[in-house]
Amino acid sequence: MSDAARQHDVRSHRLDDEEIARNFGDLHPRLSRSEALIAADRCYFCFDAPCTTACPTGIDIPGFIQKIRSDNLRGSAHTILQENIMGGMCARVCPTEVLCEEACVRNTHEEKPVEIGLLQRYATDPVFADGTQLFARAAASGKKVAVVGGGPAGLSCAHRLAVLGHEVVVFNRDEKPGGLNEYGIAAYKAIDDFAQKEVAYILSLGGIELRNKQALGKDFTLKQLRDEYDAVFIGVGLGATNALGLDHESLEGVDNAIEYIAELRQADDLGELPVGRRVVVIGGGMTAIDIAVQSKRLGAETVDIVYRRGPEQMGASRYEQDLAQTNGVTIHHWAMPVALRGDQHVTTVQFARTELDSKGHVRSRGDEFELTADTVFKAIGQTVDTGQLGAELDSLEVEHDRIVVNYVCKTSLDDVWAGGDCVLGGDDLTVTAVQHGKLAAIDIDRYLREA
């Protein structure tokens, strides 16, 4: 088949509207009251609960589950949201299977852990549905803080600062706030525009001004913010996608997974999205799983994920790997791309089998194989957009293109804090970004009141 003909294998409407709707329905629907009570009754309410220790935001998990048992959903939601203001989204996207639920004392070979994520959603959904405001602002401090980034880290920081009585301006580079919660996760994990409902709840507290389509390094500088505001928080995420470093990477059909997911999340009609008949995904993290499963649910015939190491080293959890495979995705381990082939449009990806050398580094084993492809998605991680932010980061301590912060997310500058994926040591999780924003806000408050 010629390249010109193969281009026609990337098309829309591979499935009818009814099947698309089923495929992109809620991955884990909210528990009913009876289901929630049964799930809550399984909790041992440990005094020194390992699940709470495993939660990056330190939610009192036995506490909120106990309130569910007594039908005090508002109190349960408050217990969750006072530690994690994005507890609704985290209940949907957090890898609970490797955090709180993995630490659950009931997580044994004989039984499953308490369904903490589903219980968290059960408690918080009513709050976001009716807009019940569980927080009040402290007396005005007279201080004003700039928050750069409208994702989980920035919004978490802004909310806690507003609760503490400070005025906040959030500079968001996108058309909508929410960051990866809005643009970067699988559509079936957060249906019904939930990301924006959560943002609306955060902003309804008051004291937070949102300015969309305002980007650091393009529309304003860090120096300008430091001159104008009493403190600055940077939560810009990662704006650039890592390259494969192969020839012909600019071929048609070789796309960035995160960009396609963003397009999918904003699409009014998912059936209109073009999808390849044969899709190859390169990478092993959550983005790789999300783009692979969604491609399959859009109607791709074959979807292959190829990762250079083994299943234990994949950034995606075992649950997510299983989800991909039960959706018809094939995962190939121990292989790396070495060539992209095609005249104008990609047709084939050549891979080399891999192994570890004596130092634990990945190397080619010598034998190779090929996969035909109409679409190749790059999902090998992101990095800070140094092209736009390079000059802005010059005044900060930076390692490996990430901002260096201390345990309360303070940078090397006295009046600047940072958090989320853009800081050194970030793990690309919404829940970690939320915690960074919260810790920074608490320390910013201390700084402002001591000034």
Q: For residue range 245-294, list pLDDT tens digits in order.
A: 999 999 999 999 999 999 999 999 999 999 999 999 999 999 999 999 99
Tell me what pLDDT residue 240 has. Answer: 84
Q: Measured between alpha carbons, how far is 117 from 430 in angstroms, rounded to an integer?
A: 14
Q: Do 144-239+384-450 and 244-378 show the same overall fold?
A: yes
Domain 33-130, CATH among 3.40.710.10, 3.40.50.300, 1.10.1060.10, 3.40.50.80:
1.10.1060.10
User: Which of the 8 DSSP states describes residue 309?
Assistant: S
Q: How far is CA 44 from the centre of its chain?
A: 30
- For residue 13, which of 279, 298, 277, 259 has the smallest C-alpha distance? 298
Is residue 348 scored above 80 in pLDDT? yes
Dihedral sign computed on CA atoms, order 168, 172, 175, 178: negative
Is residue 147 scored above 60 in pLDDT? yes
Tell me what pLDDT residue 5 has. Answer: 42
Is residue 96 scored above 70 in pLDDT? yes
Average pLDDT over residues 171-179: 97
Tell me what pLDDT residue 387 has. Answer: 81
Q: Measured between alpha carbons, how far is 36 from 48 in angstroms, rounded to an integer?
A: 23
Tell me what pLDDT residue 367 has. Answer: 94
The pLDDT-based confidence of 8 (bands split at 50, 70, 90) is: low
pLDDT, one tens digit per residue, over 50-83 is 999 999 999 999 999 999 999 999 999 999 999 9
Average pLDDT over residues 111-116: 97
Q: What percent of the chain has pLDDT over 90?
A: 91
Q: How far is CA 210 from the centre of its chain?
A: 21
Adjacent-strand bridge partners of 275:
11
The pLDDT-based confidence of 321 (bands split at 50, 70, 90) is: very high
Q: Measured between alpha carbons, how far is 364 from 360 in angstroms, rounded to an integer?
A: 13
Report which secondary-structure segment, H or E, holds 265: helix 257-266
Average pLDDT over residues 194-215: 97
Q: Measured between alpha carbons, how far is 57 from 180 in angstroms, rounded to an integer?
A: 18
Each domain of the chain, given as residue ranges in start order, spans 33-130, 144-239+384-450, 244-378
Q: Which two tokens stand for residue 60?
A: 């009192």
> What does pLDDT average to over the chain?
95
Q: What percent of the chain has pLDDT over 70?
A: 98
Phi, psi of 54, rounded to the nearest 5 degrees: -80, -15
The pLDDT-based confidence of 430 (bands split at 50, 70, 90) is: very high
3-state secondary structure of 19: helix
Is residue 3 scored above 70 in pLDDT? no
Number of neighbouring beta carbons within 10 Å of residue 196? 15
3-state secondary structure of 438: helix
pLDDT, one tens digit per residue, over 383-428 is 888 888 888 989 999 998 899 999 999 999 999 999 999 999 878 8
Q: Measured between alpha carbons, how far is 451 from 448 in angstroms, rounded to an integer?
A: 5
Tell me what pLDDT residue 6 has. Answer: 47
Is residue 222 scored above 80 in pLDDT? yes
Highest CATH level, class, for 244-378: alpha beta
Fold of 144-239+384-450: FAD/NAD(P)-binding domain (3.50.50)
- For residue 256, which of 267, 246, 242 has the smallest C-alpha distance? 242
Beta strands in 36-88 (DSSP E): none
Tell me what pLDDT residue 344 has. Answer: 92
